[in-house]
Amino acid sequence: MNIEEKIDSIFSKWQQGFCPGGQVIVRKDGETIYKKNFGYANIEHHVPVKDETVFHVASVSKQITVMCILLLHEDGKIHIDDDISKYIPDLVNFTEKVTIRNMINNVSGIRDQWELLGLSGVRIVDTITQRDALRVISKQKELNFTPTSKFLYSNSNFTLLSEIVERMCGASLQNFAYERIFKPLGMENTFFKDHFSKIIRNKANSYYNNGEGQYVYSVLNYGTYGATSLNTTATDFLKWMDNFKQSSICKEETLKMMYERPTLTDGSVSSYAGGIFIDKYKGHSYIEHGGRMQLIEVLSYVLSRQMLILFYFQIRKISQ
């Protein structure tokens, strides 16, 4: 069985009947060795997934938000070791110092927005706005722990980072990302969905299996962004991945800052860098990040719902 047949077998489920699908691209040594689309972007109207089909990629969004922050740092408009109260004082009600760097590394101790929204009675299927998320985040009077003492994945960090970007550049996160990242890299089908009512051209619908062998619509009404809401294609996202090898949108020093993993107070080094996980596989450093919706891991999600395949596994040498 050759490499194409082996990869085909992994996604064979998406070739059987009308089911949600995705885009898959595999590259080796800079050469594309596999590129195929599977399944349907819209089951009801029998619209197959194509190269131009746009997918919501959930938490994969975080690395783009971090790059926006680092570009502002590079511009001298912010410093990532500043206390966040310097930039968003109205959203900080706790007394501990939390830096921008703490947030991009998920070691801030700030509580997660989805848990806070859930506790306040908001459902994931409700029309949640960015203001709604910021409102519950701003009510925190205590952190979960002292910054840098632990790693805790928190979406709130990146929602707050997006707010800092918007305040310091005087534009929306989407506009800043477009001008500084998407446009220069030629990512023509990539953007942040910053309002739940926004119409997306060539968008893949979301579905889930109702337990009776039928796919039904999975409602995705929220309009929060920064931690989530990036929409893109596999082809576009490869252009972003190329930027990890040799950046054309920032200085090499800025890219190195994105790779920096924090040392915790117990002396251990966290695997979470700037919106990306960094670890080793058979002695090689790799970069990765998945997405999840409604606390469902991305692996389960792509089997039952519409999602761009972004199991990117980029192996390269990284300065640790």
Mean pLDDT by 10 residues, the chain (320 residues): 89 82 90 93 94 95 98 98 98 97 98 93 87 96 97 98 98 98 98 91 90 85 93 96 92 96 97 94 87 46 36 41
Asked, for residue 39, whether it belongs to a domain, the answer is: no
3-state secondary structure of 276: coil
Asked, for residue 10, whether it belongs to a domain, the answer is: no
What per-residue confidence (pLDDT) applies to 245?
87
Give yes or no for a contact between 313 and 298, defined as CB atoms under 8 angstroms apart.
no
CATH number at residue 194: 3.40.710.10
Can you tell me the distance from the alpha carbon of 196 to that of 40, in angstroms, rounded to the nearest whole number? Answer: 22
Can you tell me the distance from the alpha carbon of 85 to that of 219, in angstroms, rounded to the nearest whole number? Answer: 35
Select from 38, 41, 289, 52 the least CA-distant residue to 190: 52
Asked, for residue 304, whether it belongs to a domain, the answer is: yes
DSSP H helices in the chain:
3-10, 62-75, 100-104, 113-119, 130-138, 156-169, 173-177, 183-185, 234-245, 252-259, 298-304
Asked, for residue 172, whether it belongs to a domain, the answer is: yes
What per-residue confidence (pLDDT) applies to 51?
96
Asked, for residue 22, whether it belongs to a domain, the answer is: no
Asked, for residue 135, whether it belongs to a domain, the answer is: yes
Number of folded domains that form the chain: 1
What per-residue confidence (pLDDT) applies to 15?
78
Asked, for residue 37, whether it belongs to a domain, the answer is: no
What per-residue confidence (pLDDT) applies to 308?
43
Asked, for residue 40, whether it belongs to a domain, the answer is: no
pLDDT digit string (tens) for 88-130? Answer: 999 999 999 999 999 999 999 999 999 999 998 988 778 899 9
Owning domain of residue 249: 53-230+245-315
What per-residue confidence (pLDDT) applies to 293?
65
